[in-house]
Structure 1
């Protein structure tokens, strides 16, 4: 009987020690927890060169994504690049799947919908047509097929000129501008309405016989957009951008992508 009691006591002690070993954090555990970085999740359209796109090596790249990477490093955060459907950006922000939208995101007309950084770049919405198409002015778009990306700034800008849109033969919407430009190249449409900075980059890289009409649809500015009310993270990113403008980083990245300084912070 004494032997049985003694054995039971030994078993109880072993179980108690095992439980303590599982519940008491080690020094290594504490070190691991404290070295984990906060993430900075950037939502972007992966078909929007040169702001954000998939490079030939399959990696995400672009002017905006490079700026985001530098900001994340300066904030000591882990950058997570999250491709999104452009017309789902509000849902992605509201569900906290992303921290911001950073991808040629136009402030104009959306001032009260998101919490914004200051504008870091200027842009125009323009019409792109085939060279030699005979379309030289907005009046020449009468009875022509015009395409725009769904839920884009170009679509919003066209909403302000209903009289012009009424002259189009067809007014179409595409999921992305790569598809729209392919339709233009094939002759399926006559004009694409899009961001000038993207249009000129595409023309240069594709070597396509496209031209940008001189008459712009609308002038606008790009910013980094956050969920309305997320001023804390916005302020961190804004400060980093201002520091990058002051030390020449914004200019260096702009020269790499555009051959000139197109940034506007601190100007």
Structure 2
């Protein structure tokens, strides 16, 4: 009997012990489950908050860009169309026109200086919205979506006034320079009979260098835009002259990426508005002393 009682007591103790262990495991499992669920909830909340913040950021970025920018690509060494002024700021006839257009469109103007022979890459990559810098349309008609021409121009030779060079015949055997990938270079390529008479025909990166070379006697003539030549001669106060005979005549326009008629049309409408209210004439008078623009005429 004692043995039976002892056996029963032992069994009861074992069961109680097992029940205790099971209770602890259950509590721990429940606790772990709650912790996991809480962590999961926190993670979910964090993720949702993160998404919400990302959404807010995207919306904010969108709102910030509602006005947008108008990014103009230009050669910063091409006065008076676009260049660095004495105050270190970008300025010029074309840049002033562009700033007024941007203002009337409700856009922020951004001047983006570019290396001229990389201009197409800049335009096609979206770095710039247009090329606006004494940009010749002739010969490039199918390469861009163009505005209407706003200036007439011609390509000419600039020489030292005391060099005895008066006509093209006087350029025989002489050293001539021209800006790389410029309209003047294209015009000379179209006139091989003329260039064959030169002693040499070299290219330069920009016309400031070309004028320094002309002044020093390193070259005898520069082929370039007459609009730019006139400004350079007046601003430098040096003894330069423009040969009367023109290499070619041309028109300036604003070049947009091929197919971007939407932006072109907006800009064109503003230019016509500026021509009608006299703003374009005022800007031309400021830079050239006369109204040489062609829109609306």
Q: TM tier, shorter chain?
A: over 0.9
* Compared CA separation, residues 224 and 29, structure 1 to 2 (3 A): closer
Which residue is equivalent to 2:11? none
1:202 and 1:190 map into 2 onto residues whose CA distance is 16
Residue 108 of structure 1 aligns to a residue whose secondary structure is coil
Q: Where does the alignment leave 5 or more consecutive residues of structure 1 unmatched?
A: none
1:22 and 1:258 map into 2 onto residues whose CA distance is 57
1:165 and 1:4 map into 2 onto residues whose CA distance is 89
2:32 and 2:190 map into 1 onto residues whose CA distance is 89
CA RMSD of aligned residues (A): 1.9
Of residues 248-257 and 21-30 in structure 1, the stretch that sits farther from structure 2 once superposed is 21-30
The counterpart of 2:117, out of the listed 59, 65, 87, is 87
Q: Check if 1:15 corresponds to 2:52.
A: no
The structural deviation recorded for 1:173 is 1.0
The counterpart of 1:33, out of the listed 62, 67, 72, is 62
1:241 and 1:87 map into 2 onto residues whose CA distance is 27
The structural deviation recorded for 1:10 is 4.3
Which residue is equivalent to 1:187? 217
The structural deviation recorded for 1:204 is 0.8
2:60 and 2:124 map into 1 onto residues whose CA distance is 33
* Compared CA separation, residues 83 and 31, structure 1 to 2 (3 A): closer
Residue 24 of structure 1 aligns to a residue whose secondary structure is helix
The counterpart of 2:233, out of the listed 187, 198, 203, is 203
* Compared CA separation, residues 32 and 154, structure 1 to 2 (3 A): closer
Which residue is equivalent to 2:85? 55
TM-score (norm 1): 0.93
Mapping 1:1-267, distance limit 5 Å: 1=27, 6-24=34-52, 30=59, 33-36=62-65, 37-267=67-297
2:38 and 2:142 map into 1 onto residues whose CA distance is 69
2:62 and 2:263 map into 1 onto residues whose CA distance is 22
The structural deviation recorded for 1:179 is 1.0
Residue 268 of structure 2 aligns to a residue whose secondary structure is helix
Of residues 43-52 and 223-232 in structure 1, the stretch that sits farther from structure 2 once superposed is 223-232
1:91 and 1:5 map into 2 onto residues whose CA distance is 59
* Compared CA separation, residues 29 and 98, structure 1 to 2 (3 A): closer
The count of corresponding residues between Structure 1 and Structure 2 is 267
Q: Deviations over 1:217-240 (max 9, x none)?
A: 111110001122221211111111
The structural deviation recorded for 1:189 is 0.7
The structural deviation recorded for 1:3 is 5.5
1:176 and 1:139 map into 2 onto residues whose CA distance is 26
* Compared CA separation, residues 143 and 4, structure 1 to 2 (3 A): closer
Residue 58 of structure 1 aligns to a residue whose secondary structure is coil
* Compared CA separation, residues 155 and 17, structure 1 to 2 (3 A): same
Higher relative helix content: 2
The structural deviation recorded for 1:57 is 2.0
Q: Where does the alignment leave 5 or more consecutive residues of structure 2 unmatched?
A: 1-26
Higher relative contact order (CA 8 A, sep 6+): 1
1:172 and 1:4 map into 2 onto residues whose CA distance is 81
The structural deviation recorded for 1:111 is 1.1
The structure with the larger Rg is 2
